Amino acid sequence: MSGRVLVGVKRVIDYAVKIRVKPDKTGVVTDGVKHSMNPFCEIAVEEAVRLREKKLMKEVIAVSCGPQQCQETIRTALAMGADRGIHVEVSGKDYENLGPLQVSKIMAALAKKEEASLVIVGKQAIDGDCNQTGQMTAALLDWPQGTFASEVSVDGDGLKVEREIDGGLESVRIKMPAVVTTDLRLNEPRYATLPNIMKAKKKKIASVKPADLGVELTSRLEILAVEDPPQRQSGVKVEHLVEDCPVASPSTLGIEVGGVLCCRGGTCLSSQYTVITAGLD
Amino acid sequence: MANPLRSEVVRLYKNLLYLGREYPKGADYFKDRLKMAFLKNKGVTDPEKIKELIGRGEYVIKELEALYYLRKYRAMKQRYYEEGKKE
**How close is the nearest chain B Cα to the Cα of A243, in Å?**
30
> Domains of chain A (ranges plus CATH)?
4-213 (3.40.50.620), 230-281 (no CATH)
In a domain, B56, yes or no: yes
Cα(A244)–Cα(B37) distance, integer angstroms: 56
In a domain, B87, yes or no: no
Helix (H) or strand (E) holding A139: helix A133-141
Cα(A204)–Cα(A119) distance, integer angstroms: 20
Domain count, chain B: 1
CB atoms B14 and A194 under 8 Å: yes
Please tell me which of the candidates B18, B69, B71 has its beta carbon nearest to residue A188.
B69
Structural domain range at position B20 = 3-62
Distances (CA, A) of A86 to A124, A162, A216, B59: 20, 29, 18, 35
Q: Report the percentage of chain B scoring pLDDT > 70.
A: 92
Interface check for A188 against chain B (CB to CB < 8 A): the answer is yes
In a domain, B75, yes or no: no
Interface check for A270 against chain B (CB to CB < 8 A): the answer is no
What is the 3 state secondary structure string of chain B? CCHHHHHHHHHHHHHHHHHHHHCCCCHHHHHHHHHHHHHHCCCCCCHHHHHHHHHHHHHHHHHHHHHHHHHHHHHHHHHHCCCCCCC
C-alpha dihedral (B86, A151, A200, A90), degrees to nearest 10? -80
Interface check for A225 against chain B (CB to CB < 8 A): the answer is no
**How close is the nearest chain A Cα to the Cα of B46, in Å?**
26
Burial zone of B17 (CB within 10 Å; 0-12 exposed, 13-18 middle, 19+ buried): middle
What ipTM did this prediction achieve? 0.88
Instruction: Report how many Cβ contacts below 8 Å link chain A to chain B.
Output: 36
**How close is the nearest chain B Cα to the Cα of A144, in Å?**
25
pTM above 0.80, yes or no: yes
pLDDT in tens, A136-157: 999 999 999 999 999 999 998 9
Residues of A in contact with B75 (CB under 8 A): 15-16
Q: Report the percentage of chain A scoring pLDDT > 70.
A: 82
Give the distance from CA A257 to its chain's centroid. 37
pLDDT in tens, A18-32: 999 999 999 999 999
